[in-house]
């Protein structure tokens, strides 16, 4: 089973999230997780066509996916036109400097994009953490997202210090969930 993680990262934070998603997917027996950066020139469209699931990741810039990730989305109009990704599983993740910071608009946009491709959307599948007097930022899903995995990285720190360990574990959970469901669906 093949899970592709397609992402853009401007400063490295979203790349860390992508690696964690891949680690989660890879932890499911029989899964081949492939991480693809859209910034590295040509997108391997053939690999995407072979995948059972594609997980999309982008930082949230100015309220939605980054321009380089949007370019990938626009370029995907060819496989879209032939509905090459139909009935594959899809999921999404995003990072930004703010705790909430319009990240939901990014995930909603990715879910709409996946629906255009005829894909089936898998959410995070975790209850929110850090939402009670007993909670803390160390909780899984500390930001409280459902549609996909959210992460927050301080704007004055590099990818060695953010996203937090809890956000990376949350991303790992998403990868594992998608791979598990893809196996079942296949």
- Three-state secondary structure call for residue 6: strand
Strands (E), 11-115: 32-37, 53-61, 64-65, 89-96
Q: How far is the CB of 184 from a second copy (least distance, A)?
A: 7
Site for a second copy in 136-175 (CB under 8 A): 142-147, 150, 152, 154-157, 161
Q: Among 44, 45, 50, 112, which residue interacts with a second copy (rule: CB under 8 A)?
A: 112
User: For the chain, how long is the longest CA-to-CA vector?
Assistant: 51
CB 6 within 8 A of CB 49: no
What are the CA-CA distances from residue 148 to residues 71, 78, 108 (Å)?
21, 25, 9
Q: Would you say 34 or 145 has its CB closer to a second copy?
A: 145
Of 124, 119, 120, nearest in space to 148 by CA: 124
CA atoms of 167 and 32, how far apart (whole Å) = 23
Q: Among 12, 130, 164, 183, which residue interacts with a second copy (rule: CB under 8 A)?
A: 130
Strand-strand pairing, 149-152 and 64-65: unpaired
Q: Among 116, 136, 138, 165, which residue interacts with a second copy (rule: CB under 8 A)?
A: 116
CA atoms of 45 and 72, how far apart (whole Å) = 10
Interface size with a second copy, residues (CB under 8 A):
67
Q: Residue 100, interface with a second copy (CB under 8 A)?
A: yes
Residues 80-99, mask of contacts with a second copy (x by CB under 8 A): x--x--xx--------xxxx
Q: How far is the CB of 88 from a second copy (least distance, A)?
A: 12
Binding site for a second copy (CB under 8 A): 61-67, 70-71, 73-74, 76-77, 80, 83, 86-87, 96-105, 108-109, 111-116, 118-125, 127-128, 130-135, 142-147, 150, 152, 154-157, 161, 181, 184-185
């Amino acid at each position: 089973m093949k899970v592709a993680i397609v992402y853009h990262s401007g400063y490295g934070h979203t790349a860390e999230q992508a690696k964690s998603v891949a680690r989660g997917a890879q932890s499911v027996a029989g899964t081949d997780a492939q991480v693809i950066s859209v910034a590295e020139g040509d997108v391997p469209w053939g690999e995407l066509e072979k995948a059972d699931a594609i997980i999309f990741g982008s930082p949230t810039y100015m309220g939605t996916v980054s321009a380089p990730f949007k370019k990938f989305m626009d370029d995907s109009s060819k496989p879209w036109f032939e509905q090459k990704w139909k009935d594959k599983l899809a999921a999404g993740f995003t990072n930004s400097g703010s705790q909430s910071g319009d990240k939901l608009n990014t995930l909603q946009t990715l879910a709409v994009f996946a629906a255009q491709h005829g894909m089936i959307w898998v959410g995070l599948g975790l209850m929110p953490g850090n939402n009670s007097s007993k909670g803390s930022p160390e909780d899984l899903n500390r930001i409280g997202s459902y549609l996909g995995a959210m992460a927050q990285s301080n704007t004055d720190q590099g990818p060695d210090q953010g996203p937090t360990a809890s956000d990376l574990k949350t991303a790992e959970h998403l990868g594992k969930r998608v791979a598990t469901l893809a196996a079942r669906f296949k």
